[in-house]
Structure 1
Amino acid sequence: MKKLILILILLSSSLLARVIYTVTIEPQKFFLERIGQSKIKVKTIYENVDFTKELPHVHFRKFAFSDVYFTIGLPSEKAYAKKLLEFNDEIKVVDTSKNVEMLYNDGKKNPYFWLDPLRVREVTKVMLETLIKNDPENKEYFESNHETLMRELDKIFLRLKDTLFYSTNAVMVFNNKLDYFLRRFDVRYYRAENKVLSGPRFTEVFRLSKEKNIKYLIVDSSINYEVYNTWSNANNMEVIHSDIYSYNWFSDLFVLSDKIASKKEE
């Protein structure tokens, strides 16, 4: 019995010794866990919540014991960081997007860069530096995991490039969330305003889809697009659902690229 208690105490001490990191979105958690693995603990602000609405102040209490908050450049993160620091002013806020080359839409920074595997490399470098700083004894462990992740990102990039290189299909989107991905792999795309397609807007987008021979309509999986489903069926367009906040971001990109590159029967 005494041995069992001792083992439980040692396990508890081991868990408590791990540095706790908070991130905003699930893709960040994926990158970070690939580098830190069992040596760290990662919590996600957007996990199991409706992040399209303002998050209540109490939601941030569960992250109060974090050592570091990794941001990724989303506008809402300034408010999140402020709330976290109100619970624990010793949390270090680290911007993982600080070395990323950003795109701009109408003068505003587009923050959704993590769908570009090449830009993700800059994020992981910042993460690696922070992990080593907080736990220098595991420096070689973190570096080895990071090198493995870099090879994975290269493979992901090459596979996506190979899939989309010869594709001539055009797609339509309703926001700027996929700009980095679509531009990186030279996918021809057109953006319509994210509004209900009725009246003049319906006619305008209908004409654009015919003129540009657009075969696919990519929509955010978190939003109800029943009206777009009906409209796309009427115009022989296939709806592709996309979730840029998914933990399985790389497999989702494979699915997305395969669908975009597929030949659609007339």
Structure 2
Amino acid sequence: MFRVLFLLTILIPLFPKEISVSILPQKFILEQIVKDKFNINVMVKPGFSPATYEPTPSQMKHLSKSDIFFSIGVPFEKNWVPKIEKMIKGLKVVDSSKGIERREMDSFKHIEEKNNHHKDHGHKHSHNGKKDPHVWLDPMLVKVIAKNMTDEMVKADKINSKFYQKNLEELNRKMDNINIEIKDLLKGKKSNKFMVFHPSWGYFGDRYGLKQIPVEVEGKTPSAKQLKEIVKIAKEKKIKILFVQPQFDKRALKAIAKEIKGKVLPIDPLSYDYINNLKDVAKKVSESL
């Protein structure tokens, strides 16, 4: 019996502890830092939207085994993080996006207002006040997220602090490299506007001098009247490629594509394969400009 207990005390530290994150891009970032020293549990699985997601019982079980939960400001966290903190005592919740200034969520209504502005010079643009959570789609902001994660890991596991810091430096180099690649890919384009269903790409656009034109209206599929206005804008801007993420309905974009004789292409803001995915998105957007 003593021998069994002795073996268990040796083996237990060999089993990685668990950390939870909200979305797959966070898993990619954290894995670059901790490698195989921790298991990483992702709350929003592939194919699900952070806007409508609710944790399953099995995910809550994983969360209860976690030492840390890294949030990032996606919609489901607003209701669920306070519940999680009450239900799971001792779980440390850390905002991995702290220190990042949030931009406002782009909206088709803002574009409508700008187009109609000349009709009413006294008109003031209204904003929906919603903050854009998609900070991870700017590789330079990924460096901030990674630093926040690394700082927390150093606190939690001081023995491996040099290991985590070294891995952070390597990740930063990767982000610098992809930033240069994307800048080179997008420079010298005639247009800087691209059309998307859901406005996920604001930070990406800000970084590379691009403007996304969202199709959805405050989270809803556009009305027939609004679709007509979107088609008009697409024709004016000579837009032929429309982008949609896999988590959203493609019907509205297909209707627009038919009217402008264009096509619909997928781009995924929630892909785990962060670097290759961002390169793919940049290439598709570049070809659409």
Equivalent residues, number: 260
In the alignment, what sits opposite 2:113? none
Change (3 A) 1:79 1:231: closer
- C-alpha deviations, 1:104-153, integer Å up to 9, x for none? 23222111111001111111111111111111111111111111000000
Q: Structure 1 residues 62, 99: CA separation in 2 closer, same or farther (over 3 Å shift)?
A: same
d(CA) in 1 for partners of 2:287, 2:143: 28
- Deviation of 1:163 after TM superposition, in Å, equals 0.5
Post-superposition shift, 1:67?
A: 0.6
* Aligned equivalents of 2:288, 2:267: Cα separation in 1: 19
TM-score when scaled to structure 1?
Answer: 0.87
Task: Report the equivalent of 1:172.
Answer: 195
* Match in the other structure for 1:47: 45
Bigger CA drift: 176-185 or 195-204?
195-204
Q: Distance in 2 between matches of 1:197 and 1:78?
A: 26
Match of residue 114 from structure 2:
none
The answer on 1:203 being equivalent to 2:228 is: yes
| Greater strand fraction, Structure 1 or Structure 2 | 1
| TM-score for the superposition, normalised by structure 2 | 0.81
| C-alpha distance in structure 1 between counterparts of 2:187 and 2:92, whole Å | 42
CA contact (8 A) 1:232 1:239 kept: yes
Would you say 1:239 and 2:239 are equivalent positions?
A: no
* RMSD after superposition: 2.6
> 1:1-266 alignment to 2 at 5 Å?
10-15=10-15, 18-47=16-45, 50-51=48-49, 52-56=51-55, 58=57, 59-105=59-105, 106=127, 107-169=129-191, 170-194=193-217, 195-196=220-221, 199-262=224-287
Deviations, residues 150-185 of structure 1 (Å, cap 9, x unaligned): 000001111111111122243112332111112211
Q: CA 1:202–1:176 in 2, change beyond 3 Å: closer, same or farther?
A: closer
Structure 1 residue 100, shift from structure 2 partner: 0.7
SS at match of 1:171: strand
Alpha-carbon distance between aligned partners in 1 of 2:46 and 2:233, rounded to the nearest angstrom: 37
Indicate the SS of the match to 1:259: helix
CA distance 1:238–1:168, shift in 2 (3 Å): farther
Judging changes above 3 Å, is the alpha-carbon distance between structure 1 residues 96 and 39 closer, same or farther for their aligned structure 2 residues?
same
Secondary structure at 2:93 match in 1: strand
Kindly provide the CA deviation profile for residues 224-259 of structure 1, in whole angstroms up to 9, marking residues without a partner as x. Answer: 313422431441323221221111122111111111
Alpha-carbon displacement from aligned partner over 1:167-204 (angstroms, at most 9, x marks no partner): 22431123321111122111243233345566322321
Q: Secondary structure at the match of 1:168?
A: coil
Question: 5+ unaligned residues in a row in structure 2: which ranges?
Answer: 106-126
Helix, strand or coil for the counterpart of 1:214? coil
Per the alignment, in what secondary structure is the counterpart of residue 68 of structure 1?
strand
- Residue 109 and residue 90 in structure 1: after superposition, are their counterparts in 2 closer, same or farther (change >3 A)? same
**1:163 partner amino acid:** L
Instruction: Tell whether the 8 Å contact from 1:173 to 1:217 is kept in structure 2 after alignment.
Output: yes
In the alignment, the residues of structure 2 paired with residue 73 and residue 50 of structure 1 have an alpha-carbon distance, to the nearest angstrom, of 16
